[in-house]
Amino acid sequence: MREESSGRLCGHERTDKIWENGWVCNRYRLTHSKQYLAERFQASDEIEERPRYNIAPTQPVVTVRKEHGRKTRKFTTMRWGLIPSWAKDTTIATRTLNARSEIVTTTPAFRQSILTKRCLIPADGFYEWQKMGSVKQPYCFEVSEGDVFAFAGLWDQWKSPDGQIIESCTILTTTPNSLVADLHDRMPVIVPPDKYDANLMRRYPVSRKLNNSRIDDAESGSPVILDMPAQSKLF
């Protein structure tokens, strides 16, 4: 995984490994209905009613956060790729899709958000890739049989020079469990409503159509059967 080197950004001091640039969890899925999500997260507000099988960086994503000064939760659609309030422009967002949880409190792009702007990012699957010769094979990771879960997220609000307000988010990452470890050295932080057990997760190969971020249909996230030589490398 490639990491950003130390230096300065927009006048802010940077440390090594500020963000994931490999990336871990740069595609995921959310296909449950908004009614189900509202019941599951006890949240309100309008969100788009359509299944998403191939959610990609910089696209709009559903988040859950507490309403300011209240205990109630609300859904908010944000751009994936956090733009800190102090950023000069939006270009930083392609490098802030993920945030390393171990150093998030000292990372300039995230250290304010971890204190005051935490959120949940609902999903029912995420994808990682394995290199197989000249091709990249995507795998889907689920909790139980495709149940809804939540990534730990952070968000921020940025105002453009012409006054446009953009709310954006990032997904926190951590060391991988045994199911993910042979494909990546990081995985998203999953927030347990009642403690998800890693053993309840499953993974399976999915269509290589998923490699194209412009394809967002049911077939792109469907299970596929690999030939035996490729399969034998996994187990």
Catalytic residue, chosen from 4, 13, 20, 25, is 25
Backbone dihedral angles phi then psi of residue 104, each to the nearest 5 degrees: -65, -30
Q: How far apart are CA 148 and CA 191, in angstroms?
A: 11
Residue 23 preceded by cis peptide, ω within 30: yes
Check if 10 is active-site. no
Check if 4 is active-site. no
Catalytic residue, chosen from 20, 128, 142, 167, is 128
Q: Is residue 73 classed as helix, strand or coil in its secondary structure?
A: strand
Q: How far apart are CA 151 and CA 40, in angstroms?
A: 14
Label residue 40 left, alpha or beta by phi (over 0 means left) and psi (-120 to 50 means alpha): alpha
Q: Closest Cα to residue 170, out of 149, 184, 188, 158?
A: 188
Q: Closest Cα to residue 121, out of 184, 59, 211, 201?
A: 59
Q: How far apart are the first and last CA of the chain?
A: 23
Report in angstroms the alpha-carbon separations of 153 from 61, 103, 110, 121: 11, 14, 10, 6
Q: What one-letter code names the amino acid at 2?
A: R
Q: Which residue has the tokens 């109630």?
A: 72
CB crowding 34-46: b at 16 or more within 10 Å, else e: beebbebbebeee
**Residues recognised as catalytic:** 25, 128
